Structure 1
Amino acid sequence: MLAKEWLNNARAIMTQIEETQMDNIRKAAEIMADSIEAGRWVHTFGCGHATIPIEEMYPRIGGFVGFHPMIELPLTFFTRITGEMGVHQFVFLERVEGYGIEIMKGYNFDTRDTMWLFSHSGINNVNIDVALEAKKKGMKVIVFGSAAEAKGKQTRHSSGKNIFDIADLVVDSCAPIGDASVSLKNHQDKVGPVSTMAFITCVWMTVTTVAEILAERGVKLYIHPSHNVPGDETAKDRLEEALRVYKERITGV
């Protein structure tokens, strides 16, 4: 069954992440914890399906204040496919050098911030622009992606660097560079991509480690609670508190 083949492939990647990336996940979490403890941000950015881990971590139940999602609408997950905001425009835009520089102009940054980038292949210009600008602004840059698989693949950026070259720290998602992992009879192309599962696995391994570090330091976390649990009378208040703290941090008031 191809369903079980995909499941086995996903499990194998999760095991590989556990066996090879724990040290770097811990190092990444320590850098992020420093930013959040300082009252600053872990900014998160990606393109296409690499926006899914960004949307997954915050805001959502079990997430907490300190992660700032930077999602550029023309580069995010698209549902129209053709026409407005279709695949053709997306593929063009993620390769446009200079677009990431313009994106970065829309936000306020601090040297205590961390930039957390998601890029499967590491070669597209928007992500590289954002990484280079973050470095210029004095931020630590952490990149999650298929670093080992992408090694030697030609960058599209005039700097000659891919995003993994720029990063202060890399966590390898361990996903195959072709992403799709299941061969199909009478077809050249595979089905069953695994990069999203790999990214989400790495995200929650990292975010829970950040939470662990901050809790051990005695830092109060503003966690989004479930508001669907019967009998939890204070859930709404805890959610409002988290949103209030987020608003105060993002506005600087």
Structure 2
Amino acid sequence: MIDVTRDYLDKCRRMIATVEKQSEDIRKAAGWFAASILAGRMVHVFGSGHSRIMVEEMWPRYGSFPGFNPIVELSLTFHNLVVGANGQRQAMFLENVPGLAARILRNFDLSARDTAFIISSSGCNVVPIEMAERFRQQGIRVVALLTREHAAQSISKRQDGKKLGDFADLILDTGAPAGDAMIRIPGLDTPVSPGSTVGGAMVVNAVKAEVARLLTEAGHPPKVLSGAAVVGEERAAQLFEQAYDEHAHRLAELYRRVGDSPAAAAGR
């Protein structure tokens, strides 16, 4: 009998090696993100489809901290109903509608001091590509998290054939294979068990750790959401309130002059 559990875990170990080889680029991305946060601005994190998982892995959850703006559109990421109203067919259609990225970003007063973290395993769907393109047009550095092997073998849904990587200042790789699913079962002609979530979570949390280090070294240690089991109930509650308050204050800066700046006007 084939040990599919061991096979999957072995492939995950290979992804660890792939992530480790990107240590220098992870530190570079963290440096850009930390600079935005220290400037009082935010890192815009976007992903459609199941890439939403990586957005929420960055913030907010235990072990994370303010400074990141999670942009999650329910119309692109709400998979629970699968079919019918709000079904997956509609979500997959919408993530390839040109112009939607501009409408989403019209809600924010962007600044060149911001940075962006765009997640898309294939790097071939229109909305994530246009997100990166719009950010770059505003002078905002873009870090892309994709699966290099999968992106290389996939065809862009965009008419000009450009992919997410074409609008990224830096590309990070989940290390998953083309098609994402990693396990072959005897007698089954299609593989199962994707890997990009595992690889992506490793990259996201490595970046997060590096940002926390840089903020702390700069004299601005982040307010980290922490469990009561770690810091005690009183401290956990205090950090919870402080972190969410800081997020609200940072987000307020993104709304305060919406419609008044060239950045907002460009999204109309």
The farther-off stretch of 102-111 and 64-73 is 102-111
Secondary structure of the structure 2 residue equivalent to 1:142: strand
Instruction: Tell me the residue number matched to 1:164.
Output: 165
- Cα distance in structure 1, aligned partners of 2:232 and 2:60: 23
Q: Give the superposition deviation at 1:64.
A: 0.5
- Per-residue deviation, 1:233: 2.4
**Structure 2 counterpart of 1:78:** 79
Checking the alignment, whether the CA contact within 8 Å between 1:147 and 1:164 is kept in structure 2 is no
Cα 1:149–1:77, aligned 2, differ >3 Å: closer, same or farther? same
Contact 1:51–1:77 (Cα < 8 Å) also in 2: no
Aligned to 1:32: 33
Letter in 2 for 1:131: A
Structure 1 residue 183, shift from structure 2 partner: 0.6
User: Distance in 1 between the 2:156 and 2:241 partners?
Assistant: 44
> Are 2:205 and 1:204 equivalent residues in the alignment?
yes
CA distance in 2 between partners of 1:21 and 1:56 (Å): 19
Aligned mates of 1:59, 1:28 — CA distance in 2: 19
- Residue in structure 1 matched with residue 236 of structure 2 by the alignment: 235
| Counterpart Cα distance in 1 of 2:186 and 2:40 | 53
Map of 1:246 onto structure 2: 247
Q: Quote the residue 1:57 is aligned against.
A: 58
- Report the Cα distance in structure 2 between the residues aligned to 1:51 and 1:6, rounded to whole angstroms: 23
Contact preservation (8 Å) 1:117, 1:143: yes
C-alpha separation in 2, matches of 1:228 and 1:82: 40
- CA distance in 2 between counterparts of 1:231 and 1:133 reads 43
2: CA distance, partners of 1:2 / 1:213: 40
SS at structure 1 position matched to 2:144: strand
Q: Over residues 224-246 of structure 1, what are the superposed CA-to-partner deviations in whole Å (9 max), with x where a residue is unaligned?
A: 12145584422212211111111
Rate the CA distance shift 1:63–1:159 in 2: closer, same or farther, 3 A.
Answer: same
C-alpha contact (below 8 Å) 2:181/2:193 kept by paired residues? yes
Q: Percent identity?
A: 35
Q: Which residue of 2 aligns with 1:128?
A: 129
Per mean C-alpha deviation after superposition, the further-off stretch among 75-84 and 64-73 is: 75-84
**Contact conserved, 2:78 with 2:88, CA < 8 A, in 1?**
no
List aligned pairs for 1:163-202, cutoff 5 A: 163-202=164-203
C-alpha distance in structure 1 between counterparts of 2:40 and 2:160, whole Å: 33
Structure-2 residue corresponding to 1:4: 6
Alpha-carbon distance in structure 1 between the residues aligned to 2:155 and 2:227: 44
Report the Cα offset of residue 106 of structure 1: 1.9
Taking the aligned partners of 1:58 and 1:150, their CA distance within structure 2 comes to 25
CA RMSD of aligned residues (A): 1.6
TM-score norm. by structure 1 comes to 0.94
Q: Which moved more, 1:36-45 or 1:227-236?
A: 227-236
Residue 226 of structure 2 is aligned to residue 225 of structure 1: yes
TM-score by length of 2: 0.89
Aligned residues: 252
| Structure 2, unaligned runs of 5 or more | 257-268
The answer for the alignment partner of 2:45 in structure 1 is 44
Contact 2:83–2:89 (CA<8 Å) still a contact in 1?
yes
1:17 paired to 2:19: yes
What is the CA–CA distance in structure 1 between the aligned matches of 2:227 and 2:93, rounded to whole Å? 39
8 Å contact kept, 1:25–1:206: yes
Question: Equivalents in 1 of 2:182, 2:78: separation in Å?
Answer: 21
How far apart, in 2, do the equivalents of 1:104 and 1:158 lie? 21
User: C-alpha displacement at 1:107, in angstroms?
Assistant: 2.1
Aligned partner letter, 2:222: L
